[in-house]
Amino acid sequence: MPESQPTDSRSSLIGAVKTYLGFFVLLALIMESVLGAVALKTVGQTQWLAVSGMLGVLVLLILLVGAFAYFKPHALLQDAQQVSQPAANTPLQDFCARLEGYWWENIKQDEVSALSFLEIRADPSSGTVKLQGKAYDKQGQLAANWESVASCVNLPDRKLFYYWRGLHPSRPNEPYEGFGELSLESVDGRIDKGSGFFFDCKVTEMALTTRKSFILQRASKKDCTIMHGDDAEAVTALVRQQLA
């Protein structure tokens, strides 16, 4: 049994190294031991080279640790296993990822904007999603630009709540904003449609706030190609087709 103690000690020491800082310390100790042993058993130029090597390794490690401390201080104390094995996505992240893409928002009971072409994308800064869209009137002409400034998710009910702001290009001095609620439908794990409502509030005339409902459906790849293209007539025709 006593013969296995050195091996167990080494295993325990290596197992205790869980951070990059610990790795640098272990490396310094190993190099110091090796070069120190060489220095003790040699004389003359070989001994001088061993001592110089010890000093060089220490200086190099100091520079490396200093660089990490300056550029990525958190990395020194981060568990190396956590870096090599990324954490699994949370249910919220999975839900947000399933929402990503381009959508048609068919707005009911609106004389100004009748349809929105919008993008939903994951927002790492908030942990939820970001909405950004363009609203078109019944003639297929651009009526407004809008985007969400905050959002939150109710996972059990598959609901998305958001606060948006927007402008009508023809009236840039009349900002609009409001609160919206979106309920998503999941079929076989896919989310391709939903419905909801939003409040359309003219900031300069709060009394004119209206509540508008909408139906949401995912846009096809062909739709996205047209909407991102430079053919204004094709965009107008597609918007009218979606409203038909």
DSSP string, 1-49: -GGGHHHHHHHHHHHH--BHHHHHHHHHHHHHHHHHHHHHH--HHHHHH
Q: Which of 113, 240, 104 is nearest to 167 (CA)?
A: 113
What is the C-alpha separation between 28 and 13, in angstroms, rounded?
14
Question: 32 is written with which tokens?
Answer: 């110091």
Count the Cβ atoms, other than its own, within 10 Å of residue 96.
24
Say yes or no to pLDDT of 77 above 80: no
149-156 contacts, C-beta under 8 A, 24 or more apart: 150/126, 151/123, 151/126, 152/128, 153/92, 153/95, 153/96, 153/128, 153/129, 155/91, 155/92, 155/95
For residue 154, the one-letter residue type is: N
Give whole-number Cα distances, 147 to 15, 121, 130, 176, 178, in Å.
50, 12, 8, 11, 11
Say yes or no to pLDDT of 34 above 80: no
Q: Is 151 helix (H, G, I), strand (E, B) or coil?
A: strand
Say yes or no to pLDDT of 15 above 60: no
Q: Is 185 helix (H, G, I), strand (E, B) or coil?
A: strand
Q: What is the mean pLDDT of the chain?
A: 80
Q: Which of 143, 97, 104, 141 is nearest to 122 (CA)?
A: 97
Question: 154 is written with which tokens?
Answer: 């109710």
0.75 exceeded by the pTM?
A: no
Tell me the average pLDDT across 206-232: 93
Tell me the average pLDDT across 193-197: 96
What is the C-alpha separation between 58 and 223, in angstroms, rounded?
61
What is the C-alpha separation between 28 and 61, in angstroms, rounded?
7
Q: Kindly state the percentage of the chain with pLDDT values over 70.
A: 69
Say yes or no to pLDDT of 7 above 80: no
Q: Is 191 helix (H, G, I), strand (E, B) or coil?
A: strand
Count the Cβ atoms, other than its own, within 10 Å of residue 178.
21
Q: Is 154 helix (H, G, I), strand (E, B) or coil?
A: strand
Instruction: Report yes or no: 203 and 175 within 8 Å, Cβ to Cβ.
Output: yes
Res. 215 pLDDT band, cuts 50 70 90: very high
Q: CATH assignment of 91-243, given 2.40.128.30, 3.30.70.20, 1.10.10.60, 3.40.50.720?
A: 2.40.128.30
121 or 36: whose pLDDT is higher? 121
Instruction: Report yes or no: 25 and 65 within 8 Å, Cβ to Cβ.
Output: no
What is the C-alpha separation between 139 and 235, in angstroms, rounded?
11
Domain range list for the chain:
2-84, 91-243
Instruction: Report yes or no: 242 and 236 within 8 Å, Cβ to Cβ.
Output: no
